[in-house]
Structure 1
Amino acid sequence: MTSVLVTVLGGLVLISLAILAGLSIWSRMIARRVEAAIPPAGEIATVTGGKIHFLDQGEGRPIVMIHGLAGHLQNFTHSTTDALKGDFRVIALDRPGSGYSARDSDEQARIPEQARMIAEFLAAKGIEKPLIVGHSLGGAVALTLALNHPDSISGIALIAPLAKLPEEGAKAFNALKIASPLMRRLIGETLAVPMSIRTGDATLRLVFGPNEAPADFRLRGGGLLGLRPRAFVTASTDYAAVGLDMPALTARFSEIKMPAGVIYGDSDRILDANANLDALRASIPQLDEEVLPGIGHMVQINRPAETEAFIRRMAAKSFS
């Protein structure tokens, strides 16, 4: 009986390992197809702790755009950069570890580290005193640049920013709540891609809701880049860093003296607009604030004209 049980258990283990290996091979095949469909859009710069992929367009005073959690620079090139590059030097980048950027270790997922890497990138590329545009988690990175590297930038324009630790995590990112780095990598290499394909439509409805995601978002907006094992690992690690870094960041907002503005949709289903706006209002008296009725989290895509006008207004304040 014992030998039969051992045989059965051994067989189940081998079957499980074979399934996991098959999922890993399939996930990597999907990743290669995605990268063939959406290759790097720009250049790669090496900084301490990793590499930054960026697209640099136009001439004039510089505007640097930082996307949010599980995002990519295409979140800005889809609807925002073309409207501005005729009057400004517009640099959209993949946050360290995201898109085609890379980071050397999980330590670079920490928000102050991401801000440091971007500040080093600005200096290396001769991008002097830019206006920083940050969406969602990119807003937290922009706020950290204003606090830790104020001499490197001129102002911040925040789009649906993460400004305080959510009391409850965003439902869209529940799958990212994985404490163990080893488990993140195991899930990333095996289950994450098929799960993302299965839940992709529902996730887009939540992220964009109550508005519609553009039909071309998966390609032109970079959405398909999330169908890669490394994208899941990066997003899950970033999610863990939020809990470690946001309380201390929020407590320092009163130190921000440069021009600062925020645009939010009042129907955001990812972040609590009121809670995040209150955190900014309470400590930044010079805050330029705009709230769009009936708009969700992807403000720059669902309301590009209003986003452009907001960025131009903040550029005028920052570069005056």
Structure 2
Amino acid sequence: MIGTLLIASLLGGGVFVQWRAGAREAAALDRWPAVGAFVEVDGVPVHYVQQGSGPDLVLLHGASGNLRDFTFDLLDKLAQDYRVTVFDRPGLGHSGRREVHRGAFNTKAETPQEQAALLAAAASQLGIERPIVVGHSFGGAVAMAWGLDHDAAALVTLGGAIMPWPGELDFQYRLLGNAFGGALVAPLVTAFLDPMGTRDAVEGIFAPQTMPEGYLAHIGPGLSLQRHVIRANGRQVYQLRAALTDMSDRYSTLDLPVELLHGTADKTVWFDIHAEGAAKLLPDAQLTALPDVGHMPQHARPGAVIEAIHRAAARAGLR
């Protein structure tokens, strides 16, 4: 099916595909608009939601996602004890990208280090000081980069992709990671994939748990299916392992409290490679294994997540 659509696009259907993709994107932005405010860093708009009072807490979402993952229900709980700031990572949700990373055929992507630098600058503009930085999945890598290079009191990773892994990435990331795959396939996905038809794929991320009722409509899958978001996400993931190789060489120098929360049934980011592997390198890490929990501990075990954040705050002298 994709092959046939690709040939049609190359031979003359491209204008229609791009038009339909644009219409789908406009509908998605209308249905799932920005829910927070924006701060600009070097010309890049960064979308954020801030709520609560207390020690500063920053939340960073995972691959393909956006800040709505945390506003579904966790933000309200955490805002009782912290001033919580949730960011859309660069190129995802409603946050923009630097010019050097834009373009259909451009394979340059924001490394975790570059994302941490941009978001730390945004946080500084918002008066955020010594935050506890919490990252889920890819956001865990950005949290680790934040701790390595910027001001942070403590780190918490939730199913964090924080160590280089053996083997190859899934085909979709290898396809989107190259210039022609990202340029030609992204419009087809945007134009012809129904956002609400992604339920099975999202359910797979939650497995073995089930997706909460109302989650898909809340998070806005249409935001993830925008052409530029598909490219940004695919290329960021494609280049992640190389960045983690460099970052993990520095983990032994990280003298911050780190809480590693990870489900033992996670088949997206493997517990033994990432959580156990990082725990061996980090000098002040505490690993909490969540038996039979998959890749979404913030939804499967929110109480355990809140407890880990409280522990990080106490270890950093903030509680």
Q: TM-score, normalised by structure 2?
A: 0.88
Shift of 1:303: 1.8
Matched position secondary structure for 1:26: helix
Q: Does the 8 A contact of 1:266 with 1:296 survive in 2?
A: yes
Unaligned stretches of 5+ residues in structure 2: 1-6, 102-107
Alpha-carbon distance change, 230 to 134 in structure 1, aligned in 2, over 3 angstroms: same
* Range that drifts further, 156-165 or 306-315: 306-315
Matched position secondary structure for 1:54: strand
Shift of 1:290: 1.0
Separation in structure 1 between the aligned mates of residue 97 and residue 10 of structure 2, nearest angstrom: 31
Matched position secondary structure for 1:75: helix
1:53 corresponds to 2:52: no
Provide, for residues 196-230 of structure 1, a one-character-per-residue CA deviation record: whole Å limited to 9, x for no partner: 75972332132111111123122223333212212
Q: Does the 8 A contact of 1:79 with 1:300 survive in 2?
A: no
Structure 2 equivalent of residue 255 of structure 1: 253
Give the one of 70, 74, 86 matched to 1:80. 74
Matched position secondary structure for 2:66: coil
1:314 corresponds to 2:312: yes
Shift of 1:240: 2.3
Provide, for residues 123-179 of structure 1, a one-character-per-residue CA deviation record: whole Å limited to 9, x for no partner: 111101110000111100111111111xx11010110001112223454xx312234
Greater C-alpha radius of gyration: 1
Structure 1 equivalent of residue 173 of structure 2: 176
Structure 2 equivalent of residue 201 of structure 1: 199
Alpha-carbon distance change, 19 to 273 in structure 1, aligned in 2, over 3 angstroms: same
Unaligned stretches of 5+ residues in structure 1: 1-12
2:186 corresponds to which letter in structure 1?
G
1:247 corresponds to which letter in structure 2?
T
Q: Does the 8 A contact of 1:166 with 1:271 survive in 2?
A: no
Separation in structure 1 between the aligned mates of residue 72 and residue 84 of structure 2, nearest angstrom: 13
Provide, for residues 259-284 of structure 1, a one-character-per-residue CA deviation record: whole Å limited to 9, x for no partner: 11011111001011111122211111
Q: TM-score, normalised by structure 1?
A: 0.88
Separation in structure 2 between the aligned mates of residue 310 and residue 130 of structure 1, nearest angstrom: 15
Separation in structure 2 between the aligned mates of residue 48 and residue 62 of structure 1, nearest angstrom: 23
Alpha-carbon distance change, 243 to 283 in structure 1, aligned in 2, over 3 angstroms: closer
Give 1:75-114 correspondences, 5 Å limit: 75-104=69-98, 105-106=100-101, 107=108, 109-114=110-115
Structure 1 equivalent of residue 214 of structure 2: 216
2:140 corresponds to which letter in structure 1?
G
Shift of 1:186: 2.5
Separation in structure 2 between the aligned mates of residue 14 and residue 190 of structure 1, nearest angstrom: 10
Matched position secondary structure for 1:35: helix
Separation in structure 2 between the aligned mates of residue 15 and residue 121 of structure 1, nearest angstrom: 39
Separation in structure 2 between the aligned mates of residue 215 and residue 295 of structure 1, nearest angstrom: 18
1:166 corresponds to which letter in structure 2?
W
Separation in structure 2 between the aligned mates of residue 201 and residue 17 of structure 1, nearest angstrom: 32
Aligned CA RMSD, in angstroms, stands at: 2.1
Matched position secondary structure for 2:239: helix
Q: Does the 8 A contact of 2:196 with 2:217 survive in 1?
A: no
1:36 corresponds to 2:30: yes
Shift of 1:49: 6.1
1:227 corresponds to 2:225: yes
Structure 2 equivalent of residue 296 of structure 1: 294
Q: Does the 8 A contact of 1:112 with 1:141 survive in 2?
A: yes
Q: Does the 8 A contact of 2:133 with 2:152 survive in 1?
A: yes
Separation in structure 2 between the aligned mates of residue 82 and residue 148 of structure 1, nearest angstrom: 29
